[in-house]
Structure 1
């Protein structure tokens, strides 16, 4: 008797549930997924609990992925082109909470390629092979998140909210040199483009990203600063020395910004207890939950 698949690792073990290898543009996606959307509309029924909704969405993915091509074409041939690749009926989305629009990712060791939404090389920086963030896993394929996922006429999975959005990626190599990658993923989960910025230069980058600016636009316009002020940092230095050396070398976006007394005030107010731990060589023990949001400092 076969053992049931782990709910946490779904769809591991379903060989037919595959990620689409091609990066498909937003316009092309609307045509590519129309048969799948019609299938969902015709097969869906109201669910009463989030668990029932999850089972229904996963069942749809399994059935579409494992069906014959003739079955999929029978929907594709009579389907209209929908407004978007995520044009699902309200009944299917009723038990699915919308993911908060927070596009920050932490990179870890990776688990399962179909449970992660990105891999590969970027033109201007290297992003490790697999992105492993529990919330991202849970809110995409594992949770059959129809706010993000769609399926092609070939039965493959696409991340239909991926194109044209910027993600802010923090990985171990980046932490070591004080750099954050701003990454644009394609519909196939692969890295399409990226740039590197020091964290304290991220403000304008986030603002312009929210206005729909692409990674290529950010790079060409030097939003978040030119390469000279986004060079790697020596993160082994004490934080006050790191900030002051950046000021003295004119590598803040505002020339000469800040002074040692200001750094001290900002750190003590926003990260209470950090400097004491750092002085004892125990800064890694600082709890990120202890960070305090402060008003802007001028």
Structure 2
């Protein structure tokens, strides 16, 4: 066996892995800062070297063959190990005082940032660099140490610490909820009649929120009127304050608006199927700043469980 054939160059493997992951030479080229034709040539060179068809071409689309898909999975794992080893080597002698954390935009703005000064009071020499992002964190391709995400806790290949079990509350502008003025906050269960005529605002990342909420109270979800959807929870909250409709939001993200009576929540909070988590890859588990940040987060949120 020709051992050179078994060890393609890194440039060929990077071009192939990115192309297979995106199923697009164009998107792979954007990720690798190359031209589309350069990526295509590198993939063709790898196919010629291995004497294998790694993709089928359908017009401008490329679809990995069964062999190509299996090869991509193995190559992606190997590249993750190489990147991790390289990162550890580069940072071995550097003092670890910084941590790069991705966080959900609304959670970061409305809960984390107002409290982060307390972390710095006890850790003045450490630094948390925050990235706001909605999409899932990919620790194999993104320069991140950790992320705060929401979901069911099932993320393969990462360590996940549950921070807070999400509770959803229906909120509305007091003027849009005339019936609620007669009710003690969260004193009674909603009825279809009490919700008639209201526009239900939604967050795209949680399309089943209203279905879960209605199921909790035994209401028919299809009997209510769906309204606009929003990418960010903060935008939905602003729309509710403006009186466009009512929304379901995590209670911890609207406490200021409720306390200031800009929003009203007439019904009890409902546990959702999701929780907030701090997640990070195995390579970061001994990062001293991560350990400090993780312990601080868990302590801050311990009283909310």
TM-score by length of 2: 0.22
Query: Higher relative CO (CA 8 A, sep ≥ 6), structure 1 or 2?
Result: 2
The structure with the greater share of residues assigned to helix is 2
TM-score by length of 1: 0.22
For the pair shown, which has the larger CA radius of gyration, 1 or 2?
2
